[in-house]
Structure 1
Amino acid sequence: MKKSKCLIIDDEPIAIRILERHLEAFPEVEVLETFTSAPKALIFLRSHQVDIIFSDIEMPLMNGIEFLKSFRHQPAIVFTTAYRNFAVEAYDLDVIDYLLKPISIERLGRAIDRYYERMGNVKSNENESDNGIINFKVSTGIIRMPISNIRYIESFGDYVIIHHKDGRLTSRERLSHMETKLDKRGFIRIHRQFIVANQFVTAINGNMLQVGDNQLPVGRTYRSTVQRLLQSPLENRLSEI
């Protein structure tokens, strides 16, 4: 997977260290360099190309707004600041995101998602289809899991619960997003709350699918899809649903 190279600019070294540590949870992003002032970053950028810049706003010599306005061609930039009062001006400048300190890993992840969406390059599809690995955002960072380990995924509001062969984990994702990620990967949407892995369906009981030790309902809307896509000897019994 090609990594996106980034810069961090902040006049507080501790803020740089915290953001660097947070970014370690996102293997698709590589910190190329860090700077404690915008002018030093500008000198570096004369001879180096980066994909995304994380910049504080309130800094001596040149603040983040002035830094951004100094470019002829605006870079992809995420502002990281302790102050709300720059938000309107920042969004008028069409920045990727505006993060208020202290920055959580979850909020940073949403900013990175926005960057990839803006660039027209959805990171979730990279890497996963090539090596069978899928990334899940959790409270402590990112968990990488083989797709073949997933039995089924359950919707829980703005979160999903991934039931896998070793247990379960909770990730801040929408089920519809997971459905897109797992399209053509051997999974079926069977209900507004459930996506299941074909290989773990072991029985059909009325309008319920047996997945391991669990029975999951098949929603009326999804019955024809289940009939069409479930490739197993159980297929002929789907007419009972």
Structure 2
Amino acid sequence: MARFKCYIIDDEPLALDVIVRHLARFPNLEVCGKTTDAVEGLEQMKILQPDLLFLDIEMPEVTGLELIASMQKKPAVIITTAYREYAVEGFDLGVLDYLVKPIPFPRFLQAIDKFLEKQLADAGPEVPEKTNAILVKADRKTVKIDLEQIIYVEGVKDYVKIVLNGRHLLTKSSIGNFADLLPADQFIRVHKSFIVARNKISAWSANEVEAGGFEIPVGRTYKAAFLSEMPPLTTDN
């Protein structure tokens, strides 16, 4: 679980403590710093680099809105205020949300959910770990197959024949369902009945593929897609 650093600036110690207590209920959020002095907070944030800032609007010396405008590198900002009218101006400065004091926990939770959703969206999709092996049922056993051992796969009626280095296995499956187990960056379908390991291909033409000493047909339906992914064929002299 990703953890996010939170910093709090509020000139009211009691209001600051409320935010600290609320944050303590979230295991993925930590208070990296807090202060009642806006100028001090601005300097500390340059060092601490928080992900989320809780910022009071009404403060002496520098208002919260002035502080936001002065920040070069802005974390996500949730403003806290006793006055709703500041909210519109805050949103103009790109704040994530605003909380009206006293801050009830259900409303605080909504603001945190908004922050976490934004972090998830900014991070983009999670990259899955690369698959190195698959499990299949063969000979009444569950067999672990290293993908590097597979030369090609052939659909044979209700079964799939998995041709490996020096042996082969039969497992009950359609080739379509079996194809879903194989990473597309490591295997390519060349025929309605054949899938070939890309790194085992040693030669090819528009009609067949050589892989691991085997000749495998290229189906008419799959020919264009297959050839588009392979280096261009050269003309024999």
* Structure 1 length-normalised TM: 0.49
